[in-house]
Amino acid sequence: MSAITRDAASVITIEQAGQHDAQQVTLRGWLYNVRESGKLLFPIFRDGTGIIQGVCSQKEHPQAFEALRGLTQESSVIVTGIIRSEKRAPGGYEIGVTKVEIVQKVPESDPYPIQLKEHGVDFLLDRRHLWIRSPRQAAILRIRAEAIRAAREYMDGQGYTLTDAPVFTPAACEGTTTLFEVNYIDDQKAYLTQSGQLYVEATAMALGKVYTFGPTFRAEKSKTRRHLTEFWMLEPEAAYADLSDMMALGEGLVSHMVQSALKNRQRELETLKRDTAKLANVRPPFPRISYEEAIRILNEHGNSAKMGDDFGGDEETLLSSEYDRPVMVHRYPAAIKAFYMQPDPQRPDLALGFDMLAPEGYGEIIGGGQRVHDYDLLVKRLRENKLPEEAFQWYLDLRRYGSVPHAGFGLGLERTVAWICGTEHIREVIPFPRTIYRVYP
């Protein structure tokens, strides 16, 4: 770096500009835009931490002026100047440019394709590697990073140990139609994981309270704003834990993620024009309603859902609109839930599971509950679901050797971040989204 930053002491990032009022500093970044007004130029610089307006006078700094005049968008530049408080500048500060070093000029014959104008989704997604430079996309990615940091901070603080699950798996955990099959060594077949859950149950029996955090893959033909084929999931699991323990953990985790974003990424939420008043209430306790209560609420609002139905997008949106924070729906009918869900001893037709529904129509962000810990019952469920028992022998071992009641859940990172950011579509909250018809770039 020293080759291009003679005086490292004065190099700052744009987000630090406010701490250097009236000082000479050097910024290293890219030219976001230039406005011309006679013998004054107003270049806008970005460096990944923010954007700042510059001012350059032809009369006072002719060399810098000539370097910037007509310079192409996204050319990389190192600029030196005086930071000053300026209420006419976006952000409240500007840099009076005295010196400009062009690191690479974007050629005029091949200009930066993304203009400061409206573009279609397909155009932008084809150029996702460049789109992420825009202030809005950069803000989203910073909020995503904060959500991950806060989630791990919370889990670690609750005594949970991170234990990673494999990406290659031998079989499905819930059916085979949505699995990505890959060629493994010597003509073996393997599948990309749909969930780390089965493995995290094993590590919970080894370490007590654990979680996984990693990518999961689903070859679902879903083409909605809530679906990706590759998404990240955080999955806690705890031995000797029950349904209510997991609902408490879920509300604590989600609250901490939201409150951390509000506290540490306020500027980015402003960039997104997110109505943060709607996030401020997201603190424990979250409402908990049973499936049967949920059906009653839906019916009172004219929805025709009846006992035994699973909830779709309409039902989720209607239910969540009743509350100012996420709502947890528990004890669904066992028939519509996964084979590993523990039945309610009071009501064996109900499963000790729960979903957490985010407000504002963002849908299910958590699904989980107690797992079947009885060997015979689990075998019965595997057979009922026509799952290959051989592939689940290791999973059955967990019920053979010191089985205990246990519970956990999966939190969908992108849905949670999409809700925090208030984005229209989930694909904006992951650096390089993978959807059913898109694997580029």
Partner RNA sequence: UGGGGCGUGGUCCAACCGGUAGGACACCGCACUGUUAAUGCGGAUGGUGGUGGUUCGAAUCCACCCGCCCCAGCCA
CA separation for the pair 373, 242 (Å, rounded): 12
Sites for RNA among residues 24-63 (CB under 7 A)? 33, 35-40, 42, 44, 53, 55, 57-60
CA separation for the pair 16, 10 (Å, rounded): 11
Three-state SS for 157? helix
CA separation for the pair 294, 305 (Å, rounded): 9
Could you say which of 78, 247, 249, 426 contacts RNA (CB under 7 A)?
426
Sites for RNA among residues 294-323 (CB under 7 A)? 310, 312-314, 316
Least gap, CB of 364 to RNA (angstroms): 4
DSSP per residue, 187-211: G-EEEE-S-SHHHHHHHHHHHSEEE
Could you say which of 336, 379, 391, 396 contacts RNA (CB under 7 A)?
336
Q: Rank residues 2 and 37 by Cβ distance to RNA and give the closer one.
A: 37
Quick one: residue 92, left, alpha or beta (phi over 0 = left, psi -120 to 50 = alpha)? Answer: left
Do the Cβ atoms of 364 and 256 come closer than 8 Å? no
Q: Is 233 in the site for RNA (CB under 7 A)?
A: yes
Q: Say what the alpha-carbon torsion angle 207, 211, 214, 215 is, to the nearest 10 degrees.
A: 110
Q: Rank residues 40 and 280 by Cβ distance to RNA and give the closer one.
A: 40
Q: Which residues pair with 81 in a beta bridge?
A: 25, 97
Size of the site for RNA (CB under 7 A): 74
Least gap, CB of 224 to RNA (angstroms): 4
Least gap, CB of 187 to RNA (angstroms): 27
Sites for RNA among residues 350-409 (CB under 7 A)? 363-367
Least gap, CB of 113 to RNA (angstroms): 6
CB atoms within 10 A of CB 230: 17
Q: Is 90 in the site for RNA (CB under 7 A)?
A: yes
Q: Rank residues 200 and 366 by Cβ distance to RNA and give the closer one.
A: 366
* φ/ψ (deg, to 5) at 39: -95, 20
Q: How many whole angstroms from its chain centre is CA 36?
A: 39
Q: Rank residues 261 and 341 by Cβ distance to RNA and give the closer one.
A: 341
User: Between 148 and 177, how does the x/- string for binding to RNA read (CB under 7 A)?
Assistant: --------------------------x---
DSSP per residue, 317-342: HHHHTT-SS-EEEE--BGGGS-TTBP
Q: Rank residues 40 and 182 by Cβ distance to RNA and give the closer one.
A: 40
Q: Rank residues 294 and 411 by Cβ distance to RNA and give the closer one.
A: 411
Q: Is 414 in the site for RNA (CB under 7 A)?
A: yes
Least gap, CB of 421 to RNA (angstroms): 14
Least gap, CB of 119 to RNA (angstroms): 4
